[in-house]
Homo-oligomer: A and B are copies of this chain.
């Protein structure tokens, strides 16, 4: 394995990672957050080479916090580190996207089953409110707001399991999925189908039917990976050779 320059090697948009404010924690954590955002938003596209001295100067930190941030990003599967050679943003891979979808579905299914079996009145009210809000935003046509309510629904499910690390874990295993999702435009009919799928999940939760909730959630998440498949043909330069 090696890091090779090429005429077509993509560049990082350095403007996107100018400062560390807006984040908290140690320098290393803030550097990680900044780089993570840059990678997820494609400001640092697949194949881009990450240079410690360059980033060090740009962010105004030494190489130590960068080293720690690189290590975490490598564990997340977002950066390839080649000893004594270099580091670059990982290419996308349909295999990895499907794997991320498999793992995410496993966790989301377990969460929705748990909630369907153990929900209380307070939780139900919060979920119903989310569904009403989603319905409202579908009518408004504000896509950004719609997607935020969509994500909040899934976050609520993990919150209501009572398991603290579960939400963090699902976010980590979904990183490849989330990154690829930044590349596809909203598709025809997606808002309507998402709304219908959430409604199906909710009606299973309302009924306390874990098996039905599982099936509805699986159907919902399978579509996410499916929508990403054409990307490998449309943007081959972003994918692993």
Q: Which of A7-15, A16-24, A36-44, A163-171 contacts B (4 or more CB under 8 A)?
A: A163-171
Asked if B161 contacts A102 (CB within 8 A), the reply is yes
A114 within 8 A of B: yes
Chain B residues near A173: list those with CB within 8 A.
Answer: 169
Q: Give the total of A residues in contact with B, Cβ under 8 Å.
A: 27
Asked if A103 contacts B163 (CB within 8 A), the reply is yes
Q: Which of A53-61, A105-113, A127-135, A181-189 contacts B (4 or more CB under 8 A)?
A: A105-113
Chain B residues near A26: list those with CB within 8 A.
Answer: 83
Q: Which of B99, B111, B114, B164 contacts A164 (CB 8 A)?
A: B99
Q: Which of B102, B109, B165, B166 contacts A163 (CB 8 A)?
A: B102
Q: Which of B72, B99, B165 contacts A166 (CB 8 A)?
A: B99
Chain B residues near A98: list those with CB within 8 A.
Answer: 163
Q: Which of B67, B103, B105 contacts A169 (CB 8 A)?
A: B103
Interface residue ranges, A against B (CB under 8 Å): 26, 67-68, 71-72, 75, 77, 83, 98-99, 102-103, 105-107, 109-111, 114, 161, 163-166, 169, 173, 211
